[in-house]
Amino acid sequence: MITILFAVSGNGPQAGSLPDAAPPVWARVVAVTSIVIAGAAGGLIGWSAFDLQCTGDCSTSAVVAGVVSAIVCAVGVAVVAVLTLRAMSEWKAIENRDRARRERGLS
């Protein structure tokens, strides 16, 4: 995923080729930020829910529950973020294709 986020698209479009359809950098930054925030929130929720329900010394179990819930939440948001970035790329590719057809007069 890191490769996708920070991939460089070469030296720009070549003569006769379509412009790059990769999502903008701000969208990729927002996606990574949302994954980190979701993981942190999921971890806190999992830890506190387990800690509230447990009686006695359950600090290790609460931490494990927090880590597991953080991973689950981060993976869930990562799936949504990747699907959103792919949809943005596809939308941009279709717009670029239609623009190129209009410029060539193919309508």
For the record, the structure tokens of 106 come out as 């193919």
CA distance linking residue 32 with residue 27, whole number of Å? 9
Q: Is residue 87 part of a domain?
A: yes
Q: Is residue 11 part of a domain?
A: no
Q: How far is CA 40 from the centre of its chain?
A: 15
Q: Is residue 19 part of a domain?
A: no
What residue has token string 């006695």? 56
Number of domains in the chain: 1
**pLDDT tens for residues 66-99?**
999 999 999 999 999 999 999 988 888 888 888 8
Q: Kindly report the pTM of this predicted structure.
A: 0.71
Q: Is the pLDDT of residue 11 over 70?
A: no
Q: Is residue 10 part of a domain?
A: no
Q: Is residue 5 part of a domain?
A: no
**pLDDT tens for residues 15-74?**
455 567 678 899 999 999 999 999 999 999 999 999 889 888 888 888 999 999 999 999
Domain carrying residue 54: 24-104
pLDDT of residue 43: 95
Using alpha carbons, select from 57, 58, 37 the residue that is nearest to residue 47: 58
